[in-house]
Structure 1
Amino acid sequence: MYRLICALLVMSSVLKAQQTQPNVLFILADDLGINALNCYGNQLVESPNIDQLFESGMHFTNGYANDPTCAPSRAAIMTGQLAPRTSIYRVIDRYKTAKNAREMRRYMKYLPPVSAHLYSGNSGLCPDKLNMARVFNTNGYATAAFGKWHLGTGTSAMHNIGFDEAIETKNHFNFKSIPSQNDYDSLVYNADYCTKKGIDFMTRSVQNNQAFFLYMPYYLVHAPFDPKPQYVRHFQNKLRGTEYEQERVIDVLAMIRSLDDSVGELMQALTELGVDDNTIIIFTSDNGHYRVKDNNIFALPYKGNKGDVWEGGIRVPYIFKWPEHINGSTSSDSPIVHVDLLPTLADMLDLKMDKSHVMDGISLKKVLLDKGTVSRDIPLVWFYTNYSGFNSKTKQFQSKWVNVIQHQHYKLIEDVETAAFELYDLQRDPVEQSNIISEKPELAQKLMDKLEMAKKRCGLPMPLKNPEFVR
């Protein structure tokens, strides 16, 4: 009897430790715009599970990505730092690799900062840099990641960066895995595979009475457009005869439905494992939505798309759930950006961190736990250095080097090539139709000064003159 009582006391102590140390499930969608969920206002979209998450937690109405493309944003999520500190400015240097790269460079006045290469061996996110995986690991969590990485290969690969377990996957059907796995075939859907791996990891962690951090960066809804046939048929029937009966719109809707299925399976697993009440769930996206055949339906009402610093290119959904801590069916208009995620989680969970690691974000713990407002002393800034989409006829770039600062509800955009500025009042003009730079010169100058201070604080290199520039 004595031994039995002792065993029960030990078991109770272990279970209590698991119950008091919250788990974290971080779900990251790919290219999912602010208007690509039913709960955020798009009635065409079917996302019942994410809608349920939305209703049971807090969502943000002013959520931003740190970049309108994926790699810099993912680096910001992992490190809490902006691109000048991670050296991941771009996905790829198109002004070096494109077929018309030589012609492109003739029309670039400046050379952008050197970016860590993501596709060559031992290059990408610095393996020695503090990141979200290592923070949770050093605080006693079991850690895992399954899905898209896009932050480097070799020593910078996802399975080498600090997770206990990690499998990178690319594409949808007939997907590739790194390290290469042999437990699936070409008919298995990437998202389904990653979800199964994630649930298996959570199950083992709970069985071992160990708190877990699970990072689920799905490849959905990034191209290639490779949805499940049954969902394509479903939306074809649903939209027949409407203005939205377009192949690509239907493909995206079908892919969002698959993403929602995976979110639902993860949430159901938490419930079945009995840890739903003790798990923080975060759902967001890496950047704004791409344009679908001249249709901006997944970024409306905002201007721009993925690859733009307009609101449509950088606004993304943010949803947080933590039963008995975060009030359900609530919203916040506080700005939130990717670099805020690491400091927020560290603050909420009292995680120990290397104090020498500078973070560019702030903690939103008070907002999430309904304990007050948060003042942001450091304005939101974007350093978008991606020269791409060059038109040989017009000699213009679809995107080029622009720096952006947003303070309170004013947004200033600097065109580095032309030294021209634009100013928008997002409170009165959220769709950025009226450039008020000439109406508020003093305000514009204050924002210019703040932008220069941000550049120096983060270590953004000065523009270098391009010796090939001829115009």
Structure 2
Amino acid sequence: MKYTLIYFLLLCGIILNAQDKPNILFILADDLGINALNCYGNNIVESPNIDRLYSEGMHFTNGYSNDPTCAPSRAAIMTGQLAPRTNIYRVVDRYLMAKNAEEMRQNMKYLPPASNHLYSKDNGLSPDKLNMAKVFKQHGYRTAAFGKWHLGVGRSGMNSHMGFDEAIETKNHYGFSTVPKQNDYDDLVYNADYCTKKGNEFMKRCVEDDQPFFLYMPYYLVHAPFDPKPAYVTHFKNKLLGTEYDHERVIDVLAMIRSLDDSVGELMQTLKELGVDDNTIVVFTSDNGHYQVKGNNMFAQPYRGNKGDVWEGGIRIPYIFSWPDHIKPGSSCSTPIVHVDLLPTLADLANVQVNPNHPLDGICLSKVLMGKKAPEREMPLVWFYTNYSGFNSKTKQFKSKWVNVIQLNDYKLIEDVETGQYELYSLKEDPLEMNNIYSLDSDNAQQLLDELQKAKEQAGLPLPTPNNEYGK
């Protein structure tokens, strides 16, 4: 009788523990810049549902991506690790694959670290590496993902090898493709609507089965191609007719943001209808800064740079967290946050452990989210951007080339690996990065140089490899 009672009490504890686990809804936008939401200050944008999420939770005013392009930042999100540990440095090696690849290499003093090839089977993010989905699955969560993966194919794809119980990878907007191939839609269905439908169905099944869930919703919006819903194009054309924003591409982007917002609203409505909104942590962010938009480049303003740049416009992104009765509504935080912080933060909020043998390059910000005093960030923000692209045959210059960046205590240092030159900015006094003070502030310059060297060593960044083709 005694052992039966003990077993019954243990079983009750397990059931209660499962019910008490907070669900995780992680919404990732694609190429959504810091000035691409109404709640972040752009009153031309219509984003009522994301604005509501913003008002119901905490937003960060100094949010960053770990890379100004897609794949490395997504690897950082999933693993909590920088590129030297994930080996996802770049989306593609243009200096090896572009039509002018030979000419590019002849103008590259160094070769960047070898990067896993995302489009070669089983050669993207390693399926043996711990990631966010695996962490939650190991702790009793049901896991799913619907949308853009961009971290590999085959065993490196968005599938069970990566810890997902259910997953459908999608690409483009209208006429989108799916992996694995699905037959329950046609070319008239919008990608975001399809993913949202799948996400809602997944959450409903989990609630019916009394299972906590981790749902990753990496939308393709607002990445090119510019393929918005016609009704929203008409709406913004009429609204902005004759204004400085009356440009085709601006209107396309505004329409696509509105569709993204609709999807966020539907997900939030489903949580409410299922009665689990109070027990669900919702995260909304983006993979990198906004691309340049012809006509009016407002979506990264007022900052310098765009997607593909390590200036603020290329790496500043929104971060919004919501969890009723835990995260104070309408609150904000100025502590810097970056993608590698997400795994340790979400794991701690959900009271799950990350295997200590998996090194994390980010910090846990759960106490900040729960309303405790925001600490000064002692760990610097670091970027190793090794992409060579945008080569100009006339000027022999690259739009993007290998730079290493470190930011600490409102100071930001950029190291140009090719030239050995440096830029130093005081983001507090010069947030638009217009005045390089490297030669004027030797103390801060030296401190950041020392910290950058430590960061390289800790992360295991390879030394630049001299290029034998340079100058030929």
- TM-score of the pair, normalised by structure 2: 0.96
1:343 matched to 2:344? The reply is yes
Change (3 A) 1:231 1:376: same
How many angstroms apart in 2 are the aligned matches of 1:14 and 1:367?
29
Quote the residue 2:152 is aligned against: 152
Q: In 2, Cα distance between the equivalents of 1:139 and 1:245?
A: 50
Please list, as runs of the form range in 1=range in 2, the aligned pairs for 1:111-126 lying within 5 A after superposition. Answer: 111-126=111-126
How far apart in 1 are the matches of 2:255 and 2:11?
45
Secondary structure at the aligned position of 1:78 is classed as: helix
Aligned to 1:201: 202
**Cα pair distance change 1:111/1:371, threshold 3 Å:** same
Distance in 2, matches of 1:19 and 1:328, equals: 24
**Who is 1:47 aligned against?**
47
Q: Does the aligned pair in 2 maintain the 1:366–1:374 contact within 8 Å?
A: no
SS of residue matched to 1:158: coil
Q: How does 1:168-317 map to 2 (within 5 A)?
A: 168-293=169-294, 295-317=296-318
Partner of 1:369: 370
- Give 1:288's aligned amino acid: G
Q: What is the deviation of 1:294?
A: 5.6
Alpha-carbon shift at residue 120 of structure 1 (Å): 1.1
CA distance, structure 2, for counterparts of residue 287 and residue 458 of structure 1: 21
Q: CA deviation at 1:438?
A: 1.5
Instruction: Trace 1:425-440 onto structure 2 (pairs within 5 A).
Output: 425-440=426-441
Deviations 1:131-174 (A, max 9, x none): 00100000000000000000000110001311110110000000
Say which SS state the counterpart of residue 423 (structure 1) adopts. Answer: strand
CA RMSD of aligned residues (A): 1.5
Q: What is the alpha-carbon distance in structure 2 between the residues aligned to residue 44 and residue 213 of structure 1?
A: 33
Please report how far the alpha carbon of residue 349 of structure 1 lies from its aligned counterpart in structure 2 after TM superposition. Answer: 1.4
Structure 1 residues 382-437: Cα deviation after superposition (integer angstroms, max 9, x where no partner): 00000000001111000000000000100000000000000000001111011111
Partner SS state of residue 422, structure 1: strand
- In the alignment, what sits opposite 2:35? 35
Within 2, Cα distance between the matches of 1:56 and 1:347? 21
Distance in 2, matches of 1:218 and 1:145, equals: 10
Measured against aligned partners, the alpha-carbon deviations of 1:62-114 in whole angstroms (never above 9, x if no partner) come to: 00000000100000000000000000000000111111111111100000000
Runs of 4+ deviating beyond 6 Å: 9-15
Between the aligned partners of 1:115 and 1:86, the Cα distance in structure 2 is 9
Query: What is the aligned partner in structure 2 of residue 4 from structure 1?
Result: none
Whether 1:66 aligns to 2:72 is no
For residues 319-374 of structure 1, the C-alpha deviation after alignment (integer angstroms, 9 at most, x for no partner) is 00000000000000000000000000111111122111000000001110012223
Indicate the percent of aligned positions where both proteins have the same amino acid: 70
Q: Quote the Cα distance in structure 1 between the aligned partners of 2:168 and 2:327.
A: 31
CA distance in 2, matches of 1:236, 1:312: 26
Establish whether residue 101 from structure 1 lines up as the match of residue 101 from structure 2: yes
In structure 2, distance between residues paired with 1:288 and 1:138? 32
Which residue in 1 is equivalent to 2:449? 448
- How far residue 21 of structure 1 moved from its aligned partner, in angstroms, is 0.9
The CA distance in 1 between the partners of 2:427 and 2:155, in whole Å, is 42
Question: Deviation string for 1:223-254 (max 9, x for gaps)?
Answer: 00000000000000001011111000000000
Secondary structure at the aligned position of 1:136 is classed as helix
The unaligned stretches of length 5 or more in structure 2 are 1-8
Confirm or deny: 8 A CA contact 1:15 1:209 kept in the other structure: no
User: Residues 414 and 422 of structure 2 are in contact (CA less than 8 Å); yes or no, is this contact kept in structure 1?
Assistant: yes
What is the one-letter code of the residue matched to 2:423? E
* Secondary structure of the corresponding residue to residue 398 of structure 2: strand
TM-score (norm 1): 0.96
Tell me if structure 1 keeps the 8 A contact 2:18–2:140: no
The C-alpha deviation readout for 1:197-226, integer Å capped at 9, x for no partner, is 000000000000010000000000000000
Cα contact 2:106–2:471 (8 A) shared by 1: yes
- 1:6 paired residue number: none
Would the aligned equivalents of 2:333 and 2:374 in 1 still touch at CA under 8 Å?
no
Contact in 2 for aligned 1:19/1:278 (Cα 8 Å):
no
Aligned residues: 463
